Amino acid sequence: MADVAVIGAGYVGLTTAVCLAHLGHDVIGADIDEDRVERLNKGEVPILEDGLPELLAEGLASKRLRFVVGARNAASVADFVFLCVPTPQGDDGSADLSFVDAVAREIATALRPGTVVINKSTMPVGSTKRVQRVLAEAGAPHEDVLVASNPEFLREGTSVRDFLQPNRVVIGCTDTSVAVRVSELYRNLNAPILVTDPASAEMIKYASNAFLATKISFVNAIANLCEAVDADVREVALGMGYDQRIGFEFLYPGPGYGGSCFPKDTAALLYAAEQSGYDFSLLKGVVRVNREQHERMVTKLTALVGGSLSGRTIAVWGLTFKANTDDLRDSPALVIVRRMLEEGATVRAYDPAAGERAAELAPGLEVGADPYEVCHDADALAVLTEWDAFRWMNFDRVAQMLQTPTVLDTRNILDPAALRRQGFTYEGVGR
């Protein structure tokens, strides 16, 4: 079992740290946020993530896991240092690597010979080389410090499961013996391990996310066409999904994709394509369809309330970028809410996890603590996130609360026939 440092205790770093401790390694998690470190050492998880509290408690109790402030001390006693710091989107779409560079400079002279630094966060092609260079420039013993790429494929909400039951583990490294050492960390997982060169490993991450985004934009485009020709996209997706070459996953139409990864990673890939002189028109189309899909929801809602949102009151269920997370980053729901507010609507929203933080991100938005209360006297209800609880609401009560029983179901999670029987005007996506 290895001594591991995980730098950064966000979604990716925290999941990596608790899961590696669960696999039997000795793990030190590092973060710059003192408060976060203190809370983690007490077993408090700052994010909503299934399974994380249990594994954190297990790691702390077994003494295989602890958290410290600052990267340097953690890195100085590690055989493997995972870089899990943010790589936010720069103004031009490129990934901003300033946090990565700063950590590399901070840890460079503290590393022991033979330590492997592992890029876990999503970083552009060329970042493995770049980290190696920054480490060397900052005084790391060049021959002895090795860098590998080991991208994550963790979905928020199921990140623990995705880590412990991965479809694959990808390791990009120029030195096969180092790749073998990294693969040993995952010895207890039942997954194929792909060892490749760093550039290919980095590209695998971007290509995977861009492909999934493409699938979503494709099915959203088909949904829009279904509306025009009176077909039901859910039947269409089912019929497509049985073809094993296509598969069922990521074929759910909706208000467009969001979150901390797809919008950022598609932008970074487009930036990289542009830099290398390749016109990636397919991916540009994917991004455009996604933007149009957000706006299409606003158009649908406008039509439902009689042609103008001005002076209307809209109840909203769901603000996070998808269900089972409290993450609001790049949430399509917030884009749609902001557009409604711009058009002059009053918007009252309920979300099981996002809470008051959402109001700060969409000035003017009223956030309520009760899904029925936000419907009071509203002209329509818009369901923007697919929280399971929304399926099981008492829609007779919702109908009584609304001024007119009208619902826009952007996630296709409700039963149109049942709602229509209850007197609702129902509108979904592509059905």
Q: Is 124 in the site for ligand UDX (CB under 6 A)?
A: no
Query: Both tokens of residue 422?
Result: 């209850």
Task: Enumerate residues 206-225 that contact ligand UDX by CB under 6 A.
Answer: 209, 212, 216
User: For ligand UDX, which residue of 254, 371, 405, 428 counts as binding (CB under 6 A)?
Assistant: 254
Active site residue 261: yes
Element (H, E) at 7: strand 3-7
**CA max distance for the chain:** 72
Looking at 39-47, 148-156, 185-193, 284-292, which segment touches ligand UDX (CB under 6 A)? 148-156
d(CA 348, CA 378): 9
| Between 67 and 262, CB nearer to ligand UDX | 262
Give residue 137's Cα distance to chain centre: 33
Give the orientation angle of helix 281-304 with respect to helix 262-275, to 10 degrees: 140
If one asks whether residue 371 binds ligand UDX (CB under 6 A), the answer comes out as: no
- Regarding 250 and contact with ligand UDX (CB under 6 A), the answer is yes
Q: What angle do CA 118, 13, 53 make, to 5 degrees?
A: 145
Distance CA 121, CA 13 (A): 8
Query: Which residue's CB is nearer to ligand UDX, number 293 or number 313?
Result: 293
Piece of the chain touching ligand UDX by CB under 6 A; list 147-155, 170-178, 182-190, 413-421: 147-155
Nearer to ligand UDX, 153 or 186 (CB): 153
Q: Does 354 bind ligand UDX (CB under 6 A)?
A: no
Q: Are strands 65-69 and 26-31 parallel, antiparallel or unpaired?
A: parallel
- To ligand UDX, the closest distance from the beta carbon of 262 in angstroms equals 5
251 lies in the binding site for ligand UDX (CB under 6 A): yes
Residue with tokens 């749609």: 336
Q: In Å, what is the CA distance from 190 to each residue of 14, 22, 120, 168?
A: 21, 15, 20, 9
Rounded Cα distance between 356 and 365, Å, is: 10
Catalytic-labelled residue, pool 19, 173, 261, 375: 261
Candidate ranges 132-140, 183-191, 245-253, 395-403; the one touching ligand UDX (CB under 6 A): 245-253
Q: Does 262 bind ligand UDX (CB under 6 A)?
A: yes
Nearest approach, Cβ of residue 250 and ligand UDX (Å): 4
Amino acid at 373: E
Q: Where are the beta strands (DSSP E) in 137-255?
A: 146-149, 169-172, 193-196
User: Does 153 engage in binding with ligand UDX (CB under 6 A)?
Assistant: yes
Q: Which helix (H) or strand (E) holds 347?
A: strand 346-350
Q: List all residues 6 or more positions away from 228 whose beta carbon is below 8 Å from its beta carbon.
A: none
Q: Which is nearer to ligand UDX, 15 or 128 (CB)?
A: 15
* Element holding 334 (H helix, E strand): helix 332-342
Please identify, using beta-carbon distances, which residue of 220 and 313 lies nearer to ligand UDX: 220
Is 350 among the residues that bind ligand UDX (CB under 6 A)?
Answer: no
Q: Which of 29, 86, 172, 259 binds ligand UDX (CB under 6 A)?
A: 259
Quote the DSSP letter at residue 175.
-
| Binding-residue total with ligand UDX (CB under 6 A) | 20
Please choose, from the candidates 186, 190, 191, 193, the residue with its C-alpha nearest in 3D space to the C-alpha of residue 22.
Answer: 186
Burial state string for 273-311 with b = 16 or more CB within 10 A and e = fewer than 16: eeeeeeebeebeebbebbeebbebbbebbbebbeeebee
Closest distance of CB 17 from ligand UDX, Å: 17
390 near ligand UDX (CB under 6 A): no
From the list 2-10, 28-36, 260-268, 390-398, the region that binds ligand UDX by CB under 6 A is 260-268
* Count of other CB atoms within 10 angstroms of residue 168: 11
Of the residues 39, 130, 155, 376, which one makes contact with ligand UDX according to CB under 6 A: 155
Which member of 28, 71, 116, 154 binds ligand UDX (CB under 6 A)? Answer: 154
Residue with Cβ nearer ligand UDX (52 or 134)? 52
Residue with tokens 């909400």: 157
Rounded to a whole number of angstroms, the minimum distance from the CB of residue 41 to ligand UDX is 26
x/- binding map, residues 318-337, to ligand UDX, per CB under 6 A?
---xx---------------
* Chain positions contacting ligand UDX, by CB under 6 A: 152-156, 209, 212, 216, 250-252, 254, 257-262, 321-322
Active site residues: 261
